[in-house]
Structure 1
C-alpha cells in the first residue's frame, strides 16, 4: 500500500501523521504491525522497496545461519515443515512476502528521507524526496548497515583487478577468471569464501578477528542450546561487555546444506590460502599483518568456550546428551606470510567483506555519541518522541534479527501509544 504524493501535498502544508517510520525492512514493518493493532495512524517511508536489502544484497546461495524456528516476526511465525532447517534466499523472500501481505503497512516506497528534525512546538519535520511531512513521533528503523566499507588503499590497486563489496557478490560464476581474494572473515566473508571454494575457485582469505561457533554440539544445534540457556533473552545491560557487545563481530557458521561448521583450517588443507589481516599495498604486493595464527586460535578459543558453557548447562540440569568434545586444530600456519604478489598469484577479483558504516546524517537530533552512533536505552533516545529499532543488540542479541524484532517493536509501540494517550488527556 502506498500513500500518493498528491495526497501528501493537497492541503498546501505538510501532511501530519502521529508516527513516521523511516525504513521498510522487517523492523519498520514490525513497528507498523503493532501501530495498526493499536489504531495509530502512521506512515512507513522506504528509500527503495520494502525488504529491499534481502532481495538485492544477498548472494545466490545465501541461507540463514539461524534455524527457521527463530523466524518469529510479529503475528507471522515460521510455519513450514523444517523448523530446524535453514531457509535459502528464495524461501526467505517468500516468508517476507507473506509478512508484507499480512501487515499491509501504509508505505511510501522509492522515497528518501533527506532530513528529519525536532520542531520547536513539538513533533518532527520529515523532509523527503516526495515532499515534506510532520509527525508527532519518529521511529528510525533503517538499520545500521548503510555505507559499505572499502579502504582507501583500494584506489591504488591495479585497474585490471575487479573489486566488489560483499553486498554486490552474487556467485562464483559472475566473477572474472582467476583467483579471488576475500578480505574479512566475519559471517559474510567466511560464507563467501566457502561459496567460492566449493565452486573450485582459487581463494585467498585475509582472516580478521571474527569468532566462530559450532553448528551442532552434543546432539543439537548450538542455537537450540543457547536458547534454552536464555542467552538470547539477555539484555545488553546484563551482558559482561555491556554496550561494548554492540561492537562485536558475529560468529561465523553456516546453514548451508543443512548446516555445518565453517573451519578455515580445513579449507587450508584443501588449498585455500590464508593470511592475516590485510594491511597495505605496495610495489605490486599486498601486505598482511602477521596475525593469522593468533586470529585462528582466538576463533577456536571462542568455539570451545561456547561448547564448554553448554557442557556446564548439561551437567547442571542432568540432561542426557552425547559426550563432550573439544575442537583440535586440523591445520596450523607455519611461518606467517606477510606479502602476496597480486600478479604472480593470478588474482582477478577482490571481495571486500569488512562491514558497513552507519549513516544517520539526515537525522538532525542531539542524540549521537562521539562516533556518530545514536545513544539510546532499548531504542528510546534522549530526544522526546524519537526511537530506534532494528539495530544489533538494541536490547538483546536478537534485536537486529527475525528472532527478537517483535519484542523490541512491541515495547516501543507501547511507549508510543502511552505518549499519544497522555497527549490526548492533556489536550
Structure 2
C-alpha cells in the first residue's frame, strides 16, 4: 500500500497521510492500527496522553463496567479480577501500559487551532506546535471538553460556591455546610455517595437519568446484557437514534465491589431530594415538580432491564436464582419547588449535568445544527474526516473500553482502503 513520505511543504507545512487529534483511548487505538499497517501519521494532544483519566476524575472514581470489558487493541485486561471494577489509579496504569505497548508518533502539549479543507481535497491542520497537510483527519478529542452549567447559575448568590464535576477530587474540596448536588447521571449519584460516605451534609436535585441493576439473578447485569447481544445493537437499530445519542447513562456504581443505587433508599435514610433545578436568583433556588416522575422513570428503566434478563433466562432454560420483587421503599409526600439556600444551610452547588464537545477549531461542514458530528460509524460524508470515542458512535460501547477499539479498526480500515484507491498517492497519500 503506497504511503506518502512525511515531507515539508512551503511555509513549514508537513505533508502526511493522517493526523489524529486527541491522545485518549480512542485516538491511540486508531494510532495502534495505523502503526500496525505502517501508515505515517501524527497524534496531537493538547495536554498529555490520557490527561482526563489522570487529572479530571475524582479520587474514588472507578469503572462502572467490569474489568473484562477493557479491550483496547491488542491489549485486553489481563489482571486477576475480571469481574471487578478498576479504581482510577489502576485505570491509568492500564491505559499507560497500552500506550507503552507500541510506538505511537505522539506529540503532547500541542493544541490544534484549525482544521480546514483545501481546494485539492486535503486538510490544513494548524496548531501551536506545527502545521500539517493531511489527507485524513481523525477527530478523537472526545465529548467532554466543556463543562455544562445552566445560564441561570450566574444569578446565584456569590456566597454559594459553585463547583463542576471536572474540578471535584475529594470531599475536602467542598466548603463546610450542605452541598446541593445537581444531576443524577453516573457522576452525580456517585459524588453524592462519596460525600455521604465522608459524613458530609448533602442534598440531591434529581434529573431524568435512568438507573440499572448491578447484580441480578446471580450475575452482574452487564454480563447478562453482553451475553444477550444487547451491546451489539447499533445506533441504526434504535427506534429514535437522536434520542438514544442524547440519553444519560444508567446510574449504578462499581465502588467497593459494585452495587446498584436506589435513590429512594437514600431518601428513606435521610437524604433530601428535590426535582430538576429550574432557576436561581440570589439565594433562591427553584425546582420542577418532577421528583416523583423522575424516580418512577428511573425505576421503569431498572425494571425494564430486569424484565429483559428474565425473558432471556426463561427463553433459554437457564438455571438462575430468583429475585424478590422490587418495591418502592419511599416516595415524596410533597414536591418542593422553591427553597432559600441560605435558610437550608446550602453553601455549595456541585454541578453534575454533563459536558459538551468543543469543535471550534474544526472548520469543516461535518456537524449538524446542534453541533453534533454527522457520520456513519465515525465516517463522515466529507471525505477524509472521521470521529472516534463518542457515545453511541456505533454501539453502546463506542465511548467505552468495550468497543472503542472496534470502531478504531473500522475507521482505520476505511482510511487504508482510501489510501489504496490511488496508487500514485496523489489524492489520499
TM-score, reference length from structure 1: 0.96
User: What CA distance in whole angstroms lies between the structure 2 residues aligned with 1:227 and 1:243?
Assistant: 23
User: What CA distance in whole angstroms lies between the structure 2 residues aligned with 1:384 and 1:168?
Assistant: 38
User: What CA distance in whole angstroms lies between the structure 1 residues aligned with 2:210 and 2:324?
Assistant: 19
User: What CA distance in whole angstroms lies between the structure 2 residues aligned with 1:326 and 1:356?
Assistant: 36
Q: 1:265 maps to which residue? A: 264
The answer (yes or no) to whether the contact 1:9–1:131 under 8 Å persists in 2 is no
Q: Deviations over 1:160-196 (max 9, x none)?
A: 2211111111111222111101011111011101111
SS state at 1:345 partner: coil
Q: 2:195 maps to which residue? A: 196
Q: How does 1:229-240 map to 2 (within 5 A)?
A: 229-240=228-239
User: What CA distance in whole angstroms lies between the structure 2 residues aligned with 1:215 and 1:32?
Assistant: 34
User: What CA distance in whole angstroms lies between the structure 2 residues aligned with 1:347 and 1:8?
Assistant: 60
In the TM superposition, residue 10 of structure 1 has moved relative to its aligned partner by 9.6
User: What CA distance in whole angstroms lies between the structure 2 residues aligned with 1:366 and 1:350?
Assistant: 38
Deviates more, 1:345-354 or 1:238-247: 238-247
User: What CA distance in whole angstroms lies between the structure 2 residues aligned with 1:370 and 1:325?
Assistant: 47
Deviates more, 1:167-176 or 1:218-227: 167-176
User: What CA distance in whole angstroms lies between the structure 1 residues aligned with 2:199 and 2:329?
Assistant: 21
Q: 2:280 maps to which residue? A: 281
User: What CA distance in whole angstroms lies between the structure 1 residues aligned with 2:326 and 2:18?
Assistant: 51
Q: Deviations over 1:60-86 (max 9, x none)?
A: 000000000000000110000000000
Q: 1:46 maps to which residue? A: 45
SS state at 2:23 partner: coil
Q: 2:75 maps to which residue? A: 76
SS state at 1:279 partner: strand
Q: How does 1:54-93 map to 2 (within 5 A)?
A: 54-93=53-92
Deviates more, 1:368-377 or 1:308-317: 368-377
In the TM superposition, residue 122 of structure 1 has moved relative to its aligned partner by 2.1
User: What CA distance in whole angstroms lies between the structure 1 residues aligned with 2:124 and 2:259?
Assistant: 48
Q: How does 1:285-364 map to 2 (within 5 A)?
A: 285-364=284-363
User: What CA distance in whole angstroms lies between the structure 2 residues aligned with 1:185 and 1:278?
Assistant: 12
User: What CA distance in whole angstroms lies between the structure 1 residues aligned with 2:102 and 2:263?
Assistant: 41
User: What CA distance in whole angstroms lies between the structure 2 residues aligned with 1:12 and 1:287?
Assistant: 56
Q: How does 1:116-195 map to 2 (within 5 A)?
A: 116-195=115-194
Q: 1:4 maps to which residue? A: none
User: What CA distance in whole angstroms lies between the structure 2 residues aligned with 1:234 and 1:322?
Assistant: 27
The answer (yes or no) to whether the contact 2:47–2:108 under 8 Å persists in 1 is yes
Q: Structure 2 regions of 5+ residues with no counterpart?
A: 1-5
User: What CA distance in whole angstroms lies between the structure 1 residues aligned with 2:324 and 2:305?
Assistant: 12
Q: Deviations over 1:1-39 (max 9, x none)?
A: xxxxxx997975301111000000000000000000000
Distance 1:152 1:242, change over 3 A: closer
User: What CA distance in whole angstroms lies between the structure 2 residues aligned with 1:240 and 1:220?
Assistant: 28
User: What CA distance in whole angstroms lies between the structure 1 residues aligned with 2:242 and 2:77?
Assistant: 30
In the TM superposition, residue 143 of structure 1 has moved relative to its aligned partner by 1.0
Q: 1:256 maps to which residue? A: 255
